[in-house]
Structure 1
Amino acid sequence: MVSSWQQLAALTGLRFFASAHVVAYHVYHLVFTGTEAPPGLHGLLTSGYVGISFFFVLSGFILGYNYLERPPATHEARKAFWVARFARIYPIYALGLALAAPAYFKSLRDAWAVNPLEALWHAAALVVTPLLLQSWTPWTAMAWNGAGWSLAVAAVFYAAFPFLAGRMNRLGTRALAMGAAAAYGGALVLPVLYMVVDPDQTGGTASAYGSGPWMLALRFNPLARLPEFILGILAARFFLLRATEAPRSLPVVLAVVGGLLIAALMGSTSLPFPLLHNGLLAPVFAALIFLLSRSQGAVARVLASRPLRLLGEASHALFLLHMPMLFAWKSVLKRLGEAPTSAWAVAAFVVGAVCLSVLAYERVEKPARGWIRDRWTGRGTEQRAPGLQPRG
């Protein structure tokens, strides 16, 4: 086999950069409001939301790599799988809710003063968000720690995976190609339909910060995002089928795919938001993940290095905690009379967010994960690649 788990560990380092892209996106829009970077950099910063699509594809790939050859087909195996997924995502998710609670309750109080009926709709998040159900309704998806909506989507993926794996672990190359085409078509059919019908009457101007209720449903509904996850599973099946091959052109193809991805992100302002948000780049992400997993080159070695592996493992915490930390930091700066756009303020937030995410990973996520698994299953992880826990 060309790639052992050490080569696949490059995906863990890549996770950090994908999370950092999401953080940069939120800092750009929530701190530098009204300020626009140069065109290429502006496109790169405003496309941070595509990192969620990357994570959906990556989760499918990692789960497929770990489980397709031995799908959790029995009740006991499915229970162990679901407990492992819960242990992986929920401790930091709960911490994120706790940190975001003050801002959430303040927003409820402010909404009640303006429109009590609307406040009641948002108050539904008190019930559905702890249960990872908020993404099923547009008005609760981002009401309490906005980044958590993707975990609610991932929870549906994890619930479905044991049943999907049992049907995908025997697919051959031709069936995989047909399945990938169908999955990609499934990812884009609803965004295309939205653009044609325009139910929110946006006039083609839908964006992440100006979406109507139908656009919110399209962005957050788990069924609308399921094809991206399936595409990742299919990529993993193809990887396992081709694991013994080492194409000579791998570095060139990897460079081309990476270049196409960067070009697409930098020019994202010219691409339709509904398509870009909901899986337009999913095949590019799948190709990048597949190629990087087979690579033994310098890029893969750097991404698999110990510091980047640690940052990649902590990326789950960075993703879920950065928004509460950002709002708290802006509040502190306001009390101090300091501008949040100053270089030192931005640098302090970035360094602090990364350090706190590593601390949360080491002191909260890892101990809680082990405790949950030991208590509910009586055994540890069964992952083939210990450095490659899927994230939401």
Structure 2
Amino acid sequence: MVSSLPPLHALTGLRFLATAHVVAYHVYHLVFTGTEAQQGLHGLLDSGYVSLSFFFVLSGFILGYNYLERPPDSYAARKAFWVARFARVYPVYALGLALDAPAYLKGLRDTWAVDPSRGLQHAEALVVTPLLLQSWTPWTAMAWNGSGWSLAVEAFFYAAFPFLAGRLGLLGPKALVVGAAVTYGASMVFPALYMVVDPDHTGGTASAYHSGPWMLALRFNPLARLPEFILGILAARFFLLREQRSRPVMLAVVCVGAIAALAGSTALPFPLLHNGLLAPVFAALFILLSRSQGAVARVLASRPLLLLGEASYALFLLHMPVLFAWKSVLKRLGESPMSAWAVAAFVVGSVGLSVLTHVRVEKPARAWIRDRWTRRGTEQPAVGLQPRA
């Protein structure tokens, strides 16, 4: 049975802004290498990785919103849920792998020529990445289309959700507060331990530039990121229990607080910030924005941002292969990738490609997979097949 709850259009538009934050982060590091913007802008551009925490909390919130009242608690319902998630994420994921394959294979060849043992590790991505398992081992997480590591984490979340939903969907208000506090504390345990023990010998200066095995495991391992997802589910349960509208002042405070934290991100410990330090802020933002009928919610739910939000998944997975290909073209042309026209062309091209992919690949492939599964037969219809946000 499909969920009858209204779609949360404002969160769809917000999803595009978070994806744009990730894209800006990669452009800043991969194109404007060696340059640094003014402090506040540098903090905003240098903290794009935080948007992955945003997506993990959002994923839990949206799935909780659509499924907690009717959790997939039977074999048929769980199967329908998993098929729906596969249909939603895998077609564009596979396209991203195909587009990035030339760069990955070239890197594999070059690595193998220099260090065969590292090349063998790099080659493991050929097996685990198509299976959405690359984030379980640090050396394969970003080997092939680096953005895809978060989909391996999401795949673990999807596998666990039907078993979490039945329990978390029964919590009352007091239990939710306790559960949220415990979950948030759990999300901070591993990064705090990393800072105390410093197993990669970073000297207390851990950052996105450190690639020690323990740092990579902390950043990418699905178990380390699970609390952020659970916090999103708990936020959805809280949202479903309460009906009152949000106050514009509260929404403004949360938005300003999140932006201020990102602008000052260089002063915050990287392990904590990367692994969910702002997760409660994101959860509060989703609750307040979903209840809001103010100007911010209306703008985010407008048709242009709604389309961009729906296409943001394709933008997230395809922008890095496009960026690498565009840099290669510019190098052959003898043009600087830092020129205004080159950056503008990349942005317009990436966004246009994402919209085209959403319309011509993602939606038809999703419908084909779900239709094929339906025809092959389940006697029980799926519950809430398409989480909407």
Give the TM-score category using the shorter length: over 0.9
Q: What CA deviation, in whole Å up to 9, does each residue of 1:196-240 have, x standing for no partner?
A: 000000011221122211000000000000000000000000000
Q: Give the structure 1 partner of residue 140 of structure 2.
A: 140
Structure 2 Cα separation of the partners of residues 53 and 5 of structure 1: 25
Gaps of 5+ in 1: none
Q: Give the structure 1 partner of residue 315 of structure 2.
A: 318
CA shift in 2, pair 1:381/1:46, >3 Å: farther
1:192 shift after superposition: 0.1
**What is the identity, as a one-letter code, of the residue corresponding to 2:162?**
P
CA shift in 2, pair 1:129/1:100, >3 Å: same
Structure 2 Cα separation of the partners of residues 210 and 335 of structure 1: 31
Q: Give the structure 2 partner of residue 388 of structure 1.
A: 388
Q: Does 1:373 align with 2:374?
A: no
Structure 2 Cα separation of the partners of residues 223 and 195 of structure 1: 18
Q: What CA deviation, in whole Å up to 9, does each residue of 1:325-374 have, x standing for no partner?
A: 00000000000000000000000000000000000000110000000111
Q: Does 1:77 align with 2:77?
A: yes
**What is the identity, as a one-letter code, of the residue corresponding to 2:255?**
G
1:28 shift after superposition: 0.1
Structure 2 Cα separation of the partners of residues 381 and 371 of structure 1: 16
Q: Give the structure 2 partner of residue 251 of structure 1.
A: 248
Structure 2 Cα separation of the partners of residues 25 and 324 of structure 1: 15
**What is the identity, as a one-letter code, of the residue corresponding to 1:246?**
R
Aligned ranges 1:47-86 → 2 under 5 Å? 47-86=47-86
Q: Is the 8 A contact 1:44 1:266 kept in 2?
A: yes
Q: What CA deviation, in whole Å up to 9, does each residue of 1:70-91 have, x standing for no partner?
A: 0000100000000000000000
Q: Give the structure 1 partner of residue 277 of structure 2.
A: 280
Q: Give the structure 2 partner of residue 292 of structure 1.
A: 289
Q: Give the structure 2 partner of residue 5 of structure 1.
A: 6
Structure 2 Cα separation of the partners of residues 209 and 149 of structure 1: 17
1:381 shift after superposition: 7.0
CA shift in 2, pair 1:382/1:70, >3 Å: closer
**What is the identity, as a one-letter code, of the residue corresponding to 1:296?**
Q
**What is the identity, as a one-letter code, of the residue corresponding to 1:167?**
R
Q: Give the structure 1 partner of residue 158 of structure 2.
A: 158
**What is the identity, as a one-letter code, of the residue corresponding to 1:279?**
G
Q: Is the 8 A contact 1:12 1:387 kept in 2?
A: no
| SS of 1:52 mapped into structure 2 | helix
Structure 2 Cα separation of the partners of residues 254 and 182 of structure 1: 24
Q: Is the 8 A contact 1:40 1:267 kept in 2?
A: yes
Structure 2 Cα separation of the partners of residues 326 and 206 of structure 1: 27
Q: RMSD between aligned alpha carbons?
A: 1.3
Aligned ranges 1:225-236 → 2 under 5 Å? 225-236=225-236
**What is the identity, as a one-letter code, of the residue corresponding to 1:364?**
V
TM-score (norm 1): 0.95
Aligned ranges 1:1-392 → 2 under 5 Å? 5=6, 8-242=8-242, 244-247=243-246, 250-378=247-375, 382-383=383-384, 388-389=388-389
Structure 2 Cα separation of the partners of residues 100 and 204 of structure 1: 34
| SS of 2:92 mapped into structure 1 | helix
Structure 1 Cα separation of the partners of residues 352 and 51 of structure 2: 21
Gaps of 5+ in 2: none
**What is the identity, as a one-letter code, of the residue corresponding to 1:114?**
V
Q: Percent identity?
A: 78
| SS of 1:37 mapped into structure 2 | coil
Q: Is the 8 A contact 1:10 1:301 kept in 2?
A: yes
1:321 shift after superposition: 0.3
Structure 2 Cα separation of the partners of residues 15 and 109 of structure 1: 36
**What is the identity, as a one-letter code, of the residue corresponding to 1:350?**
V
Q: Is the 8 A contact 2:91 2:366 kept in 1?
A: yes
1:382 shift after superposition: 4.6
Aligned residues: 381
